[in-house]
Amino acid sequence: MTKIKFCGLTRDEDIVYANELLPDYIGFVFVPQSRRYISPEKARVLKKKLDSNIFTVGIFSNENPEIIVQLLNDGTLDMAQLHGDENAEYIRCLRTFTEKPLVQAFKINCANDIELAKNSCADFVLLDASEGGSGKVFDWTLIKNFSRPFFLAGGLTIHNVADAVTELQPYALDVSSGIESNGCKDKNKMREFIGAVVQAKNEQ
């Protein structure tokens, strides 16, 4: 079954929605420039309210590795997702201090981006549009034959997620703006998104 990640949760009610709908992952954004940014202190509070069956993913960009390691090792996060210029040396540094899974994000514009993603030393890769969090879809034909498990992000909604599941067979779907209304997470859209994924899998 394709896994689902609801990214960019910031409020207590977002956690209530997640606990009701039970996605596989939820994401906390620790990138200050993002409108979905939350502090580590807020993330710790929300984590305590989250169903223990849901894994937490921290989204970072060129962050001090010590901060990431602390959030992973104190139980706030189950995984770290890297969206900056982190390289193999950076990932190896993180592995020195934590055994938690690491996800490296790639902006997909051309075939060279695909090769970089294939060769990543992270546990997983995330394939995204050039403007992450913008709600824009990239050219999926570039990843038709992608050879390793990946998180798919970039412009996913209830209207295109079935095609994503059937055409690309991603390990997981990462959605943020596609489950929002007026900049906030919308429980109905979250529910409809999960329903569309389940239906697509059942029809295969």
Instruction: Cite the DSSP H helix spans in the chain.
Output: 12-21, 40-49, 65-73, 88-97, 111-118, 161-168, 187-202
Annotated catalytic residue within 7, 113, 123, 174: 7
CA 51 – CA 48 distance, rounded (Å): 8
Instruction: Cite the DSSP H helix spans in 80-186.
Output: 88-97, 111-118, 161-168
**CB atoms near residue 64 (< 10 Å):** 9
Strands 102-107 vs 79-82: parallel, antiparallel or unpaired = parallel
Active site residue 121: no
Q: How many residues does the chain have?
A: 204
SS3 of 33, please? coil
Annotated catalytic residue within 24, 78, 128, 174: 128
Active site residue 7: yes
Active site residues: 7, 128
